[in-house]
Protein backbone atom coordinates (compact mmCIF):
# COMPACT_ATOMS: atom_id res chain seq x y z
CA UNK A 1 0.00 0.00 0.00
CA UNK A 2 1.37 3.40 -0.98
CA UNK A 3 1.86 5.97 1.72
CA UNK A 4 0.13 9.32 1.36
CA UNK A 5 2.17 12.41 0.64
CA UNK A 6 -0.67 14.48 2.10
CA UNK A 7 -3.10 12.97 4.58
CA UNK A 8 -6.33 13.98 6.27
CA UNK A 9 -4.50 15.42 9.26
CA UNK A 10 -2.68 17.79 6.91
CA UNK A 11 -6.03 18.69 5.36
CA UNK A 12 -7.56 19.52 8.73
CA UNK A 13 -4.54 21.62 9.68
CA UNK A 14 -4.79 23.39 6.33
CA UNK A 15 -8.44 24.27 6.96
CA UNK A 16 -7.69 25.34 10.54
CA UNK A 17 -4.97 27.67 9.26
CA UNK A 18 -7.29 29.17 6.65
CA UNK A 19 -10.05 29.77 9.19
CA UNK A 20 -7.54 31.41 11.54
CA UNK A 21 -6.11 33.58 8.76
CA UNK A 22 -9.58 34.87 7.82
CA UNK A 23 -10.34 35.72 11.44
CA UNK A 24 -6.92 37.37 11.84
CA UNK A 25 -7.60 39.48 8.76
CA UNK A 26 -10.98 40.62 10.11
CA UNK A 27 -9.49 41.48 13.51
CA UNK A 28 -6.50 43.31 12.01
CA UNK A 29 -8.69 45.43 9.72
CA UNK A 30 -10.96 46.27 12.65
CA UNK A 31 -7.97 47.27 14.80
CA UNK A 32 -6.78 49.49 11.95
CA UNK A 33 -10.12 51.29 12.02
CA UNK A 34 -11.34 49.74 8.77
CA UNK A 35 -14.62 48.02 7.97
CA UNK A 36 -13.50 44.44 7.19
CA UNK A 37 -13.42 43.06 3.65
CA UNK A 38 -12.52 39.44 2.82
CA UNK A 39 -11.35 38.64 -0.69
CA UNK A 40 -10.99 35.22 -2.30
CA UNK A 41 -10.68 34.27 -5.96
CA UNK A 42 -11.66 30.91 -7.33
CA UNK A 43 -11.84 29.52 -10.84
CA UNK A 44 -14.11 26.79 -9.59
CA UNK A 45 -17.86 26.92 -9.35
CA UNK A 46 -19.45 29.03 -6.68
CA UNK A 47 -22.42 26.68 -6.49
CA UNK A 48 -21.75 26.08 -2.81
CA UNK A 49 -23.36 29.50 -2.41
CA UNK A 50 -26.59 28.38 -4.06
CA UNK A 51 -29.28 27.05 -1.73
CA UNK A 52 -32.08 24.72 -2.80
CA UNK A 53 -35.28 26.43 -1.75
CA UNK A 54 -37.21 23.16 -2.20
CA UNK A 55 -35.00 21.26 0.22
CA UNK A 56 -37.20 19.77 2.94
CA UNK A 57 -36.53 19.55 6.65
CA UNK A 58 -35.61 15.86 6.53
CA UNK A 59 -32.86 16.55 3.99
CA UNK A 60 -31.60 19.47 6.03
CA UNK A 61 -31.49 17.29 9.11
CA UNK A 62 -29.03 14.95 7.38
CA UNK A 63 -26.91 17.71 5.86
CA UNK A 64 -23.74 17.90 7.94
CA UNK A 65 -21.98 21.18 8.42
CA UNK A 66 -18.41 19.92 8.34
CA UNK A 67 -16.73 22.38 5.99
CA UNK A 68 -14.28 19.77 4.75
CA UNK A 69 -17.07 18.40 2.54
CA UNK A 70 -17.05 21.67 0.60
CA UNK A 71 -13.56 20.93 -0.78
CA UNK A 72 -14.44 18.01 -3.11
CA UNK A 73 -13.83 17.99 -6.86
CA UNK A 74 -13.34 21.71 -7.51
CA UNK A 75 -12.02 21.02 -10.99
CA UNK A 76 -15.20 19.14 -11.99
CA UNK A 77 -17.64 21.88 -11.02
CA UNK A 78 -19.77 23.75 -13.57
CA UNK A 79 -18.19 27.13 -14.11
CA UNK A 80 -21.38 28.62 -15.52
CA UNK A 81 -23.21 28.77 -12.18
CA UNK A 82 -24.27 32.16 -10.90
CA UNK A 83 -23.79 33.64 -7.45
CA UNK A 84 -26.64 34.11 -5.04
CA UNK A 85 -28.11 37.58 -5.36
CA UNK A 86 -26.30 39.12 -2.41
CA UNK A 87 -25.30 42.81 -2.31
CA UNK A 88 -22.33 41.98 -0.12
CA UNK A 89 -20.77 39.55 -2.60
CA UNK A 90 -19.35 41.10 -5.73
CA UNK A 91 -18.36 38.55 -8.42
CA UNK A 92 -15.86 39.09 -11.21
CA UNK A 93 -16.90 37.01 -14.22
CA UNK A 94 -13.36 36.33 -15.34
CA UNK A 95 -11.94 35.07 -12.07
CA UNK A 96 -15.03 34.43 -9.93
CA UNK A 97 -13.78 36.98 -7.44
CA UNK A 98 -15.60 36.65 -4.12
CA UNK A 99 -15.50 39.78 -2.00
CA UNK A 100 -17.37 39.72 1.30
CA UNK A 101 -17.77 43.35 2.26
CA UNK A 102 -18.91 43.89 5.84
CA UNK A 103 -19.35 47.62 5.26
CA UNK A 104 -22.52 46.92 3.26
CA UNK A 105 -26.07 47.28 4.52
CA UNK A 106 -26.03 43.70 5.87
CA UNK A 107 -22.67 44.11 7.58
CA UNK A 108 -23.96 44.44 11.14
CA UNK A 109 -25.84 41.17 10.72
CA UNK A 110 -23.48 39.05 8.67
CA UNK A 111 -20.18 39.86 10.44
CA UNK A 112 -21.14 38.34 13.82
CA UNK A 113 -22.94 35.45 12.10
CA UNK A 114 -19.95 34.55 9.93
CA UNK A 115 -17.60 34.90 12.90
CA UNK A 116 -19.79 32.47 14.85
CA UNK A 117 -19.76 30.02 11.92
CA UNK A 118 -15.98 30.34 11.56
CA UNK A 119 -15.56 29.69 15.31
CA UNK A 120 -17.90 26.71 15.09
CA UNK A 121 -16.08 25.34 12.04
CA UNK A 122 -12.73 25.77 13.81
CA UNK A 123 -13.99 23.79 16.81
CA UNK A 124 -15.49 21.02 14.66
CA UNK A 125 -12.38 20.64 12.50
CA UNK A 126 -9.94 20.62 15.43
CA UNK A 127 -12.01 17.99 17.25
CA UNK A 128 -12.79 16.05 14.03
CA UNK A 129 -16.50 16.31 14.89
CA UNK A 130 -19.71 17.10 13.00
CA UNK A 131 -22.86 19.15 13.46
CA UNK A 132 -25.90 19.31 11.22
CA UNK A 133 -27.03 22.59 9.70
CA UNK A 134 -30.41 22.05 11.35
CA UNK A 135 -28.81 21.73 14.77
CA UNK A 136 -26.84 24.93 14.27
CA UNK A 137 -29.99 26.70 13.10
CA UNK A 138 -31.85 25.85 16.31
CA UNK A 139 -28.82 26.88 18.34
CA UNK A 140 -28.65 30.29 16.68
CA UNK A 141 -32.43 30.71 16.70
CA UNK A 142 -32.55 30.16 20.46
CA UNK A 143 -30.12 33.04 20.84
CA UNK A 144 -32.26 35.31 18.66
CA UNK A 145 -29.68 35.55 15.86
CA UNK A 146 -31.68 34.03 12.97
CA UNK A 147 -35.26 33.07 12.30
CA UNK A 148 -34.93 31.00 9.10
CA UNK A 149 -32.96 27.86 8.17
CA UNK A 150 -32.06 29.21 4.73
CA UNK A 151 -30.18 32.14 6.29
CA UNK A 152 -27.94 29.75 8.21
CA UNK A 153 -27.44 27.62 5.07
CA UNK A 154 -26.52 30.70 3.06
CA UNK A 155 -23.86 31.93 5.47
CA UNK A 156 -22.40 28.47 6.00
CA UNK A 157 -21.98 28.19 2.23
CA UNK A 158 -20.63 31.73 1.96
CA UNK A 159 -18.05 30.92 4.65
CA UNK A 160 -17.13 27.66 2.93
CA UNK A 161 -16.55 29.50 -0.35
CA UNK A 162 -13.84 31.58 1.33
CA UNK A 163 -11.97 28.40 2.23
CA UNK A 164 -11.75 27.09 -1.33
CA UNK A 165 -8.51 26.72 -3.22
CA UNK A 166 -7.93 29.35 -5.90
CA UNK A 167 -4.45 28.54 -7.26
CA UNK A 168 -3.82 27.27 -10.80
CA UNK A 169 -0.97 25.25 -12.33
CA UNK A 170 0.04 23.98 -15.74
CA UNK A 171 2.88 21.72 -16.78
CA UNK A 172 4.08 18.18 -17.31
CA UNK A 173 2.98 16.82 -13.92
CA UNK A 174 0.61 13.99 -13.11
CA UNK A 175 -0.81 13.58 -9.61
CA UNK A 176 -2.18 10.26 -8.39
CA UNK A 177 -4.79 10.60 -5.68
CA UNK A 178 -6.69 8.17 -3.52
CA UNK A 179 -9.67 6.33 -5.03
CA UNK A 180 -7.75 5.91 -8.30
CA UNK A 181 -8.17 9.58 -9.23
CA UNK A 182 -5.52 11.38 -11.27
CA UNK A 183 -4.95 15.01 -12.15
CA UNK A 184 -3.20 15.81 -15.41
CA UNK A 185 -1.72 19.26 -14.90
CA UNK A 186 -1.10 19.70 -18.63
CA UNK A 187 -4.75 20.51 -19.34
CA UNK A 188 -5.64 23.52 -21.48
CA UNK A 189 -5.93 26.67 -19.38
CA UNK A 190 -4.38 25.04 -16.33
CA UNK A 191 -5.96 23.08 -13.49
CA UNK A 192 -6.91 23.98 -9.93
CA UNK A 193 -4.29 23.26 -7.32
CA UNK A 194 -5.82 20.47 -5.20
CA UNK A 195 -6.78 20.90 -1.61
CA UNK A 196 -4.81 18.90 0.92
CA UNK A 197 -7.70 16.48 1.30
CA UNK A 198 -7.07 15.24 -2.23
CA UNK A 199 -4.64 12.82 -0.53
CA UNK A 200 -1.83 12.87 -3.09
CA UNK A 201 -0.03 9.51 -3.09
CA UNK A 202 2.24 9.91 -6.12
CA UNK A 203 3.76 12.68 -8.25
CA UNK A 204 5.03 11.90 -11.76
CA UNK A 205 7.01 14.60 -13.52
CA UNK A 206 10.19 15.42 -15.41
CA UNK A 207 9.96 19.22 -15.16
CA UNK A 208 13.18 21.24 -14.94
CA UNK A 209 11.90 24.08 -12.77
CA UNK A 210 8.84 25.91 -11.42
CA UNK A 211 7.89 29.48 -12.18
CA UNK A 212 5.30 31.25 -10.03
CA UNK A 213 3.55 34.32 -11.40
CA UNK A 214 1.47 36.81 -9.47
CA UNK A 215 -1.68 37.04 -11.56
CA UNK A 216 -4.00 34.86 -13.61
CA UNK A 217 -3.68 37.19 -16.63
CA UNK A 218 0.09 36.60 -16.77
CA UNK A 219 -0.42 32.87 -16.12
CA UNK A 220 -2.76 32.62 -19.12
CA UNK A 221 -0.38 34.63 -21.30
CA UNK A 222 2.48 32.25 -20.49
CA UNK A 223 0.25 29.34 -21.43
CA UNK A 224 -0.59 31.02 -24.76
CA UNK A 225 3.15 31.33 -25.36
CA UNK A 226 3.49 27.62 -24.49
CA UNK A 227 5.84 28.33 -21.61
CA UNK A 228 5.39 24.92 -19.86
CA UNK A 229 6.17 23.03 -23.06
CA UNK A 230 8.90 25.37 -24.26
CA UNK A 231 10.89 25.23 -21.02
CA UNK A 232 9.63 21.92 -19.60
CA UNK A 233 8.46 23.74 -16.49
CA UNK A 234 5.48 24.02 -14.18
CA UNK A 235 3.75 27.42 -14.18
CA UNK A 236 1.84 28.30 -11.00
CA UNK A 237 -0.28 31.26 -9.93
CA UNK A 238 -2.00 32.03 -6.65
CA UNK A 239 -4.08 34.72 -8.39
CA UNK A 240 -2.74 37.48 -6.21
CA UNK A 241 -2.12 36.75 -2.56
CA UNK A 242 -1.81 32.94 -2.43
CA UNK A 243 -4.07 30.82 -0.27
CA UNK A 244 -2.71 28.19 2.09
CA UNK A 245 -3.45 25.33 -0.32
CA UNK A 246 -1.31 26.94 -3.05
CA UNK A 247 1.59 27.54 -0.69
CA UNK A 248 1.47 24.01 0.75
CA UNK A 249 1.35 22.50 -2.73
CA UNK A 250 4.22 24.65 -4.02
CA UNK A 251 6.45 23.67 -1.11
CA UNK A 252 5.52 20.01 -1.61
CA UNK A 253 6.43 20.04 -5.31
CA UNK A 254 9.72 21.86 -4.73
CA UNK A 255 10.76 19.35 -2.06
CA UNK A 256 9.51 16.15 -3.69
CA UNK A 257 10.83 16.91 -7.18
CA UNK A 258 13.95 18.73 -5.96
CA UNK A 259 13.72 21.37 -8.68
CA UNK A 260 14.47 25.12 -8.52
CA UNK A 261 11.57 27.55 -8.23
CA UNK A 262 11.36 31.15 -9.44
CA UNK A 263 8.78 33.88 -8.94
CA UNK A 264 7.81 36.81 -11.16
CA UNK A 265 5.62 39.61 -9.76
CA UNK A 266 4.74 43.21 -10.57
CA UNK A 267 7.32 45.84 -9.73
CA UNK A 268 5.09 47.41 -7.11
CA UNK A 269 4.71 47.11 -3.31
CA UNK A 270 1.90 44.56 -3.52
CA UNK A 271 3.83 42.38 -5.97
CA UNK A 272 6.93 42.39 -3.79
CA UNK A 273 4.82 41.60 -0.72
CA UNK A 274 3.32 38.62 -2.54
CA UNK A 275 6.84 37.41 -3.34
CA UNK A 276 7.67 37.74 0.37
CA UNK A 277 4.60 35.71 1.35
CA UNK A 278 5.85 32.77 -0.71
CA UNK A 279 9.47 33.11 0.38
CA UNK A 280 9.26 34.28 4.00
CA UNK A 281 5.65 33.74 5.12
CA UNK A 282 2.64 35.96 5.62
CA UNK A 283 3.36 36.72 9.27
CA UNK A 284 5.75 35.83 12.08
CA UNK A 285 4.14 32.47 12.75
CA UNK A 286 6.32 29.55 13.78
CA UNK A 287 4.18 26.88 12.10
CA UNK A 288 4.68 28.51 8.71
CA UNK A 289 8.39 27.74 8.72
CA UNK A 290 7.79 24.04 8.20
CA UNK A 291 4.51 23.89 6.35
CA UNK A 292 4.14 26.88 4.04
CA UNK A 293 7.36 28.75 3.34
CA UNK A 294 9.24 28.07 0.09
CA UNK A 295 12.47 29.67 1.25
CA UNK A 296 14.45 28.51 -1.81
CA UNK A 297 12.23 30.30 -4.30
CA UNK A 298 14.15 32.95 -6.24
CA UNK A 299 12.75 36.34 -7.24
CA UNK A 300 13.55 36.96 -10.92
CA UNK A 301 11.53 40.15 -11.50
CA UNK A 302 10.10 42.48 -12.33
CA UNK A 303 12.78 44.37 -10.39
CA UNK A 304 12.32 48.12 -9.90
CA UNK A 305 16.01 48.61 -10.78
CA UNK A 306 15.48 47.28 -14.32
CA UNK A 307 12.49 49.42 -15.25
CA UNK A 308 14.66 52.06 -16.92
CA UNK A 309 16.63 49.43 -18.87
CA UNK A 310 13.42 47.87 -20.14
CA UNK A 311 12.33 51.33 -21.27
CA UNK A 312 8.83 50.82 -19.90
CA UNK A 313 6.79 53.75 -18.65
CA UNK A 314 6.42 53.68 -14.88
CA UNK A 315 3.55 55.06 -12.83
CA UNK A 316 3.70 56.97 -9.53
CA UNK A 317 2.87 55.10 -6.33
CA UNK A 318 -0.59 55.62 -4.85
CA UNK A 319 -1.14 56.43 -1.19
CA UNK A 320 -1.96 52.77 -0.64
CA UNK A 321 1.29 51.79 -2.37
CA UNK A 322 3.25 54.17 -0.16
CA UNK A 323 1.78 52.66 3.01
CA UNK A 324 2.50 49.14 1.78
CA UNK A 325 6.06 50.14 0.89
CA UNK A 326 6.64 51.60 4.34
CA UNK A 327 5.37 48.38 5.88
CA UNK A 328 7.73 46.30 3.74
CA UNK A 329 10.71 48.47 4.63
CA UNK A 330 10.17 47.64 8.31
CA UNK A 331 10.63 43.90 7.76
CA UNK A 332 13.98 42.98 9.30
CA UNK A 333 14.40 39.67 7.47
CA UNK A 334 14.65 41.20 3.97
CA UNK A 335 18.02 41.05 2.23
CA UNK A 336 19.98 44.18 1.41
CA UNK A 337 19.27 43.53 -2.26
CA UNK A 338 15.50 43.57 -1.72
CA UNK A 339 15.74 46.64 0.52
CA UNK A 340 17.63 48.42 -2.25
CA UNK A 341 14.91 47.50 -4.74
CA UNK A 342 12.28 48.89 -2.36
CA UNK A 343 14.18 52.15 -2.22
CA UNK A 344 14.29 52.35 -6.03
CA UNK A 345 10.58 51.51 -6.18
CA UNK A 346 9.74 54.96 -4.81
CA UNK A 347 10.53 56.30 -8.29
CA UNK A 348 7.60 54.45 -9.84
CA UNK A 349 5.91 51.09 -10.44
CA UNK A 350 5.37 48.81 -13.46
CA UNK A 351 3.29 45.67 -13.93
CA UNK A 352 4.26 42.49 -15.77
CA UNK A 353 1.69 43.11 -18.50
CA UNK A 354 3.47 46.34 -19.52
CA UNK A 355 6.77 44.48 -19.79
CA UNK A 356 5.16 41.68 -21.81
CA UNK A 357 4.09 44.21 -24.45
CA UNK A 358 7.65 45.25 -25.30
CA UNK A 359 7.61 42.74 -28.17
CA UNK A 360 5.77 39.59 -29.27
CA UNK A 361 6.29 36.78 -26.77
CA UNK A 362 8.79 38.97 -24.90
CA UNK A 363 8.39 37.10 -21.61
CA UNK A 364 9.16 33.64 -23.01
CA UNK A 365 11.53 34.65 -25.79
CA UNK A 366 13.66 37.19 -23.93
CA UNK A 367 12.84 37.95 -20.31
CA UNK A 368 12.50 34.54 -18.67
CA UNK A 369 15.42 32.93 -20.58
CA UNK A 370 17.68 35.79 -19.48
CA UNK A 371 16.62 35.40 -15.85
CA UNK A 372 16.93 31.65 -15.27
CA UNK A 373 20.52 30.31 -15.17
CA UNK A 374 20.36 27.20 -17.38
CA UNK A 375 17.96 28.91 -19.82
CA UNK A 376 20.35 31.85 -20.01
CA UNK A 377 23.13 29.49 -21.14
CA UNK A 378 20.88 28.04 -23.84
CA UNK A 379 19.89 31.54 -24.95
CA UNK A 380 23.52 32.64 -25.16
CA UNK A 381 24.54 29.60 -27.22
CA UNK A 382 21.70 30.23 -29.65
CA UNK A 383 22.75 33.86 -30.07
CA UNK A 384 26.37 32.86 -30.64
Find out whether the peptide bond into 302 is cis, omega within 30 degrees of 0.
yes
The catalytic position among 138, 155, 278, 333 is 138
To the query of whether residue 138 is one of the catalytic residues in this protein, the response is: yes
Considering only CA atoms, which of 85, 108, 105 is closest in space to residue 154?
Answer: 85
Distance CA 136, CA 281 (A): 35
CB count, 10 Å around CB of 230? 15
CA torsion sign, 278 to 283 to 284 to 286? negative
Question: How crowded is the C-beta side of 178, counted as CA atoms within 13 Å?
Answer: 14
The string of DSSP letters for 78-120 reads -TT------TTB---TTTTEEEEETTSTTHHHHHHHHHHHHHH
Q: Are 234 and 208 in contact (CB under 8 A)?
A: no
DSSP-H helix ranges across 143-286 = 149-161, 216-224, 227-231, 244-257, 269-280
Please list, in sequence order, all residues whose beta carbon lies within 8 angstroms of the beta carbon of residue 256, skipping any fewer than 6 positions away. Answer: 5, 203
Q: What is the 8-class DSSP label of residue 367?
A: I
Considering only CA atoms, which of 271, 238, 230 is closest in space to residue 363?
Answer: 230
Distance CA 238, CA 95 (A): 12
Strand partners, 190: none
Write out the catalytic residue numbers: 138
Amino acid sequence: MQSKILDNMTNRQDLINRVENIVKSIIQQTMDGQLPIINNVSSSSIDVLIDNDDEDDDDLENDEMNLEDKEEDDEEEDEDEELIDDPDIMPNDNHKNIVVNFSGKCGEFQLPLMMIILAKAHKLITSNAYQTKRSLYYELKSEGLVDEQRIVDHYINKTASLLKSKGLMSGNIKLSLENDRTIDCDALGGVLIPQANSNIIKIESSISFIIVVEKDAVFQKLLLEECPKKFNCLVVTGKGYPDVATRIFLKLIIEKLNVPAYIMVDADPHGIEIMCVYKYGSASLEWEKSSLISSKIQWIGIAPSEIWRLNVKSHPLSNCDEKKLESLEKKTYLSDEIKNELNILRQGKVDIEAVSKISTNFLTEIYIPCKIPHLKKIKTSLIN
